[in-house]
Amino acid sequence: SLPLQSKRVLVTASGQGIGRASALAFARSGASVVATDINEGALESLSAEAKAEGLAVETRVLDVLKDAAVAEVVAETGPFDVLFNCAGFVHSGTVLDMADKDLDFAFDLNVRAMIRTIRAVLPGMIAKGDGSIINMASVASSMKGVPNRCAYTVTKAAVIGLTKSVAADYVAQGIRVNAICPGTVESPSLQERMKAQGDYETARAAFIARQPMGRLGTPEEIADLAVYLATATYTSGQAYAIDGGWTI
Ligand code: NAD
């Protein structure tokens, strides 16, 4: 049987990029997946792709900035065996460039949203005595300072702290909590960041140059690690770098 047979998985920000690849990878591993995002059109296309493959992916519009909406979706579709907190946003700028409103937004989406979903999902996992929570951090975090990414790096470091904190509190109750720390991964928002720099080819070459493996990662490579962490039974509180050698 498949490794995630009869498991229920909740994924945030699964309309595109790593979240979408992961929703599909969880379903291909046998899980029944609730795939959420704010982008309804992206969810419709995910739903069509999953249906064509015969995968169990139910889509729900969910803005993880909203407490009540998170609680409602979990009440209606839970309990879950696996939670993948994938939503996150990249702001550019140094500590001097960083607007307070951008820092507030980064904390709300990159950190507080994970706290919202964990609060909604964790009681059901504790009741089962089993659960895996996967939080999307980044190499740009407590692992590595990356130029011009202050709000992002601060909040992704907080994701690692959150991961370790929840892991420490619930390790004896069958709950595992781990963070994924990717390097540079080909995704729609990375494409936008490369275009926003003006000279697309030069920006792309610079992103590739910081990856010692000489290429960008794919969402599918990150999804494979998410599936592993969903099934892994002897690891918790860890931050897993998957970064093309960036932190060697
Ligand atoms: P992306 O940035 O292209 O897509 C993000 C998705 O999040 C979109 O579908 C968007 O609609 C959704 N979203 C935005 N706000 C939301 C909200 N309030 N509620 C629910 N969904 C919302 O995807 P990506 O680049 O694969 O990034 C996914 C995660 O991986 C992020 O947390 C990001 O920080 C992290 N990450 C990405 C890279 C990379 O190089 N791409 C590297 C390290 C970490």
- Cβ of 16 less than 6 Å from ligand 1: yes
- Residue identifier of the C-alpha nearest atom 10 of ligand 1: 13
pLDDT score recorded for residue 209: 96
Tokens of 127: 């009741």
pLDDT band for position 247 (50/70/90)? very high
pLDDT score recorded for residue 136: 99
pLDDT band for position 123 (50/70/90)? very high
* For the chain, percent of residues with pLDDT exceeding 70: 100
Assess whether 234 carries a catalytic annotation: no
- Cβ of 159 less than 6 Å from ligand 1: no
pLDDT band for position 176 (50/70/90)? very high
Q: Which residue has the tokens 């969880």?
A: 26
User: Which amino acid, 203?
Assistant: A
pLDDT score recorded for residue 24: 98
Tokens of 179: 């963070």
pLDDT score recorded for residue 167: 99
pLDDT score recorded for residue 172: 98
Counting atoms of ligand 1 from 1, which one is nearest the CA of 88? 32
Stated pTM of the model: 0.98
| Ligand 1 pocket, mutate which of 185, 193, 195 (most atoms under 8 A from CB) | 185
pLDDT score recorded for residue 212: 98
| Ligand 1 pocket, mutate which of 10, 11, 37, 207 (most atoms under 8 A from CB) | 37
50-73: average pLDDT: 98
Q: Classify residue 121 by its DSSP letter.
A: H
110-118: average pLDDT: 98
Q: Helical H runs in 32-142?
A: 40-53, 67-77, 100-106, 113-128
Is omega for the bond preceding 79 within 30 degrees of 0, making it cis? yes
ipTM of the complex: 0.99
pLDDT score recorded for residue 193: 94
pLDDT band for position 118 (50/70/90)? very high
pLDDT score recorded for residue 38: 98
C-alpha span between 97 and 147 (Å, rounded): 12
pLDDT band for position 207 (50/70/90)? very high
C-alpha span between 230 and 178 (Å, rounded): 9
Ligand 1 centroid vs 88 CA: distance in angstroms?
Answer: 5
- Cβ of 158 less than 6 Å from ligand 1: no
> Mean pLDDT of all residues in the chain?
98
Closest C-alpha to 27, from 70, 87, 84: 84
Counting atoms of ligand 1 from 1, which one is nearest the CA of 185? 40
